[in-house]
Amino acid sequence: MIANSYSDKHLAIMTPSATDPDGELTELWVFGYGSLTWNTCFPYTARVVGSVPGFSRRFWQANTVHRGTPDQPGRVATLVPDEKAVTWGVAYQLKGHGQVTRALQHLTIREGALGGYTTEAARFLPADESLPTRQVLVYLSTEENPLYLGHSTQQETAVAIAAAAGRCGHNAEYLFKLARFMRTSVPMVTDDYLFDLEAMVKSLLGQERAEELETSQTVADELSLTCRKDSVPMPCRFEYLPCRTVAECHRIDTRPASESG
| Choice among 27, 111, 208, 212 that is catalytic | 111
97 close to 25: Cβ distance less than 8 angstroms: yes
Alpha carbon distance 258, 162 (integer Å): 20
Closest CA to 183 of 173, 171, 193, 195: 195
Alpha carbon distance 167, 243 (integer Å): 8
Burial class (CB in 10 A: 0-12, 13-18, 19+), 148: middle
Alpha carbon distance 125, 49 (integer Å): 9
Alpha carbon distance 34, 11 (integer Å): 22
Asked if 259 is an active-site residue, the reply is no
Closest CA to 157 of 86, 48, 59, 225: 59
- Alpha carbon distances (Å) from 68 to 34, 91, 163, 188, 233: 16, 27, 9, 32, 28
Residues with active-site annotation: 111
